[in-house]
C-alpha cells in the first residue's frame, strides 16, 4: 500500500502559488544507501512554504498580536531514491488558508495548510550508481496542517476564530477538515496486525531541554524520531529484520509535551503488503487514549540489498 501524503481534503489545488527553495544536505541527513531520512522533509515546509510564501502574506502581521500558526498535523513520505552528499535538495512549496466548521456550520478553527514536493539528483556517494543517475527525481513529500492560536495567552483566550487585518477576509473562504487522533490510529485496508492490541513500549520517553524549541515545548519532530525507535524495537520483538527505511509518517498533535515530562508510548505493529510499521499514541503514564498527546502511524519499507 502506498499511503497518501494527505487525505483528499488536504490536497493542494494546482491554482495555489508555488515557491522554490534549496535545502543543504547535511552528513546525517542520508542513510548508508543514500536515502533521505524522513524527518528532514519538514525543512521543505520551512524554507519554501514558510520562508517564501507565508512571510510575504498580509496575515503574517497577526504574529505581532500573538497569533501564530501552530503545527497540529504532519504527514511525510519518502521515495525509494538515493542521492549524494554535496547535492542540494529543491523544495517546491504551496500554502492555503482555510477554516474548519462544526456541524452547525460555525467556524471552529482557522488553518494554514502547507505542502511541499522535494527533488534531488539521483545518485549515490559510494558504490555503483543507480540507473538514471544524474536525473532530477522526486525524493519526498511533506504536508503540514497549522492551526492559528495565541499560544502564550491565558487559557480560554487562545482560540482564534477570525482575523482582523485590513484587506483580508475575517475567515478564509476555503474549507478544510482536520484529521483527528482516531483517523491516524484506525486500521487501513490490508493492515495485518502483529499485536492483538496496543502494547506499552518498555522505554519511557523522558523529555529534556534538548527536545524543545522556541515555542516552549517539545519540538514536533521529536515524536517521530522517538516513535521510529519504538517501532523498530517492536518489530524486532516479532523477528522482523530492522534494516528498514521510514516511508510514511503521519502525526496528529493533540497537546504539547514539555521538558521534564515523562510519557509512555503505546503501539501496535502491523504488516501491509511489502511494508511493516505500527500505529501508536503517547500519553502520561496511566492516562487513557482520550488523554493522548500525540497519535502516530509509521510505515517502513525494506532497504535495498547492498551490492
**Sign of CA pseudo-dihedral 271, 273, 276, 278:** negative
What is the structure's pLDDT at 54? 95
- Measure CA of the first residue to CA of the last residue in the chain; give whole Å: 27
Q: How far apart are CA 2 and CA 32, in angstroms?
A: 23
Average confidence (pLDDT) per 10 residues, the chain, 307 residues: 38 75 93 94 94 95 93 95 91 96 93 96 89 93 96 90 95 93 93 97 97 91 97 98 97 95 98 97 96 97 72
Domain locations in the chain? 1-178, 180-307
Contacts of 6 (CB under 8 A, 6+ apart): 75, 115, 143
Output the pTM of the full model: 0.91
* Cell (9 digits) for 171: 475567515
For domain 1-178, give the CATH number.
Answer: 3.10.129.10
What is the structure's pLDDT at 8? 34
- Selected from 3.60.70.12, 3.40.640.10, 3.10.129.10, 1.10.3720.10, the CATH number assigned to the domain covering 180-307 reads 3.10.129.10
Going by C-alpha positions, the residue among 132, 135, 117, 138 that lies closest to residue 35 is 138
**Residues 160, 150: contact at Cβ < 8 Å?**
yes
Q: 180-307: same fold as 1-178? A: yes
- Residue 48 DSSP label: I
Pairing of strands 262-272, 294-302: unpaired
What is the structure's pLDDT at 13? 59
Contacts of 115 (CB under 8 A, 6+ apart): 5, 6, 10, 12, 45, 49, 93, 94, 95, 141, 142, 143, 144
Question: pLDDT tens for residues 152-163?
Answer: 889 889 999 999
What is the structure's pLDDT at 204? 97
Question: pLDDT tens for residues 244-265?
Answer: 999 999 999 999 999 999 999 9
CA 65 to chain centroid: 27
How many angstroms separate the Cα of 214 from the Cα of each of 142, 203, 220, 227, 258? 22, 26, 12, 22, 12
Amino acid at each position: 500500500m502506498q499511503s497518501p501524503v494527505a487525505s483528499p481534503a488536504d490536497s493542494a489545488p494546482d491554482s495555489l502559488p508555488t515557491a522554490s527553495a534549496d535545502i543543504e544536505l547535511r552528513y546525517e541527513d542520508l542513510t548508508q544507501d543514500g536515502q533521505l531520512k524522513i524527518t528532514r522533509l519538514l525543512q521543505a515546509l520551512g524554507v519554501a512554504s514558510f520562508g517564501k510564501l507565508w512571510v510575504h502574506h498580509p496575515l503574517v502581521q497577526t504574529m505581532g498580536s500573538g497569533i501564530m500558526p501552530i503545527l497540529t498535523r504532519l504527514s511525510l513520505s519518502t521515495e525509494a531514491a538515493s542521492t549524494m552528499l554535496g547535492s542540494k535538495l529543491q523544495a517546491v512549496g504551496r500554502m492555503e488558508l482555510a477554516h474548519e466548521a462544526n456541524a452547525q456550520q460555525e467556524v471552529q478553527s482557522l488553518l494554514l495548510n502547507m505542502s511541499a514536493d522535494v527533488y534531488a539528483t539521483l545518485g549515490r556517494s559510494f558504490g555503483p550508481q543507480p540507473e538514471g543517475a544524474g536525473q532530477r527525481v522526486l525524493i519526498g513529500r511533506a504536508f503540514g496542517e497549522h492551526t492559528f492560536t495565541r499560544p502564550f495567552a491565558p487559557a480560554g483566550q487562545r482560540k482564534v476564530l477570525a482575523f482582523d487585518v485590513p484587506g483580508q477576509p475575517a475567515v478564509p473562504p476555503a474549507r478544510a477538515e482536520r484529521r483527528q487522533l482516531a483517523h491516524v490510529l484506525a486500521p487501513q485496508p490490508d493492515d495485518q496486525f502483529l499485536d492483538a492490541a496496543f502494547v506499552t513500549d518498555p522505554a519511557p520517553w523522558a523529555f529534556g531541554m534538548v527536545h524543545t524549541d522556541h515555542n516552549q515545548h517539545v519540538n514536533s519532530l521529536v515524536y517521530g524520531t522517538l516513535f521510529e525507535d519504538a517501532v523498530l524495537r517492536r518489530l524486532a520483538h516479532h523477528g522482523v529484520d530492522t534494516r528498514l527505511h521510514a516511508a510514511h509518517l503521519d502525526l496528529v498533535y493533540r497537546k504539547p509535551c514539555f521538558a521534564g515530562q515523562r510519557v509512555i508510548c503505546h503501539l501496535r505493529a502491523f504488516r501491509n503488503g511489502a511494508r511493516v510499521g505500527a500505529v501508536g499514541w503517547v500519553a502520561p503514564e496511566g492516562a487513557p487514549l482520550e488523554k493522548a498527546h500525540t497519535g502516530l502511524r509509521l510505515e517502513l519499507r525494506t532497504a535495498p540489498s547492498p551490492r
